[in-house]
Amino acid sequence: MGLKSFIHRRIRRKSQVYLRPTIEGWWWLGTLLVLMLMGWGYTNNLCLALGMLLSAVTVVLLMEAHFNLDGVRLNVLMVEDQYQGSAASWRLWWQARRSRPRHKLMLCWDGEGPEGEFSLPAKTEGEAQGSWIFSKRGVWRNTYAKVTSTYPLGLFRAWSYHPVTVEAWVYPKQVSGNVPNRYWDEGLGQTRAFESHSGDEPGDFRRYQESDSPTRIAWKAMARGMPLHAKTFVEEKSQRAFYQWPWGNADENARGRLAFMIEQHYRAQESWAVTIHGLTLPPDSGPLHRQKTLRGLSEDVS
């Protein structure tokens, strides 16, 4: 295993196309060798001519497999967060030295991971997209992507490595069920106004922070000579559920149930708070809060 890893590290440093026969390709080469030996051994001109013709076809197949990947370079690769076992969409920006179509390409994770098929049109640059299905929860980070192809007849496999940094977050697989929780407010039905990124009711003013949107700057107050302030917006929330992880057996089933409840709150546009391994995320709603919560739930803390 150490020698294999060493070889992979060495060949990844060069932007080259590598070729090797597939299982069907080895049978093809073996049959071709037997055919040639029979033609020479028995001075059978017809058998020898057929062997020479098939040898020329083999050379053409090798060249076609090589040029199908030659000159292709991946520049940017982005993967969307997704739940375990669901299709995670990816998008990449590519460039090519020659304008020719590329067929049946497989984008692979460098090492153990999923594969996604795509094709490229006869252009020198463009965007491609596809999907991966991750079977393991957690964060996947890599510095290389691998493109493979068995085009045109599946007799030879061509592959090349591309130095692109990619990160994929795989959330726990959702499991239907309730999760023990308490409410952030003291009683059911109580509401309280608090500052929120998704609120639309005007609130008060506070000192401007770098993370504030320029659209919320109090320009009129600034024109009167006051320091730079930002307008705050408040949102009324009630029955804000508060969860804590880990709880119970802290197994994958419990993790999936908590992910299911978070998704339900998000779709219903409800707020929730959660403490994950001692880190508390205050009550909020929206896609950013969902992403922070599920990403924290996806990682294991040793």
CA-CA distances (angstroms) from residue 22 to 25, 29, 94, 149, 156?
5, 10, 27, 11, 5
Mean pLDDT of 10-24: 80
Contact 173, 138 (CB under 8 A): no
The total domain count for the chain is: 3
pLDDT of residue 188: 38
pLDDT of residue 67: 93
The verdict on 90 and 43 lying in the same domain is yes
The verdict on 5 and 47 lying in the same domain is yes
Mean pLDDT of 281-289: 86
The verdict on 47 and 110 lying in the same domain is yes
**Is residue 65 very low, low, confident or very high in pLDDT (cuts 50, 70, 90)?**
very high
The verdict on 156 and 256 lying in the same domain is no
pLDDT of residue 168: 87
Mean pLDDT of 99-125: 84
The verdict on 164 and 250 lying in the same domain is no
Q: What is the mean pLDDT of the chain?
A: 80
The verdict on 233 and 257 lying in the same domain is no
Mean pLDDT of 87-113: 85
**Is residue 270 very low, low, confident or very high in pLDDT (cuts 50, 70, 90)?**
confident
**Is residue 228 very low, low, confident or very high in pLDDT (cuts 50, 70, 90)?**
low
The verdict on 110 and 157 lying in the same domain is yes
pLDDT of residue 252: 86
pLDDT of residue 236: 53
The verdict on 247 and 273 lying in the same domain is yes
Contact 162, 128 (CB under 8 A): no
User: Is the pLDDT assigned to residue 66 strictly greater than 90?
Assistant: yes
Mean pLDDT of 17-25: 92
- Which one is predicted more confidently, 92 or 224? 92
**Is residue 25 very low, low, confident or very high in pLDDT (cuts 50, 70, 90)?**
very high
pLDDT of residue 6: 57
**Is residue 142 very low, low, confident or very high in pLDDT (cuts 50, 70, 90)?**
confident
The verdict on 206 and 270 lying in the same domain is no
Contact 105, 147 (CB under 8 A): yes
User: Is the pLDDT assigned to residue 219 strictly greater than 70?
Assistant: no
Cα 274 from Cα 277, distance rounded (Å): 10
Respond yes or no on whether the N-terminal peptide bond of residue 246 is cis (omega within 30° of 0).
yes
pLDDT of residue 189: 39
Lowest mean pLDDT among 49-58, 135-144, 148-157, 226-235: 226-235
Cα 70 from Cα 64, distance rounded (Å): 10
pLDDT of residue 197: 47
The verdict on 24 and 58 lying in the same domain is yes
The verdict on 182 and 164 lying in the same domain is no
Domain that holds residue 36: 1-171
Cα 33 from Cα 51, distance rounded (Å): 8
Lowest mean pLDDT among 17-26, 53-62, 65-74, 176-185: 176-185
**Is residue 49 very low, low, confident or very high in pLDDT (cuts 50, 70, 90)?**
confident
The verdict on 96 and 215 lying in the same domain is no
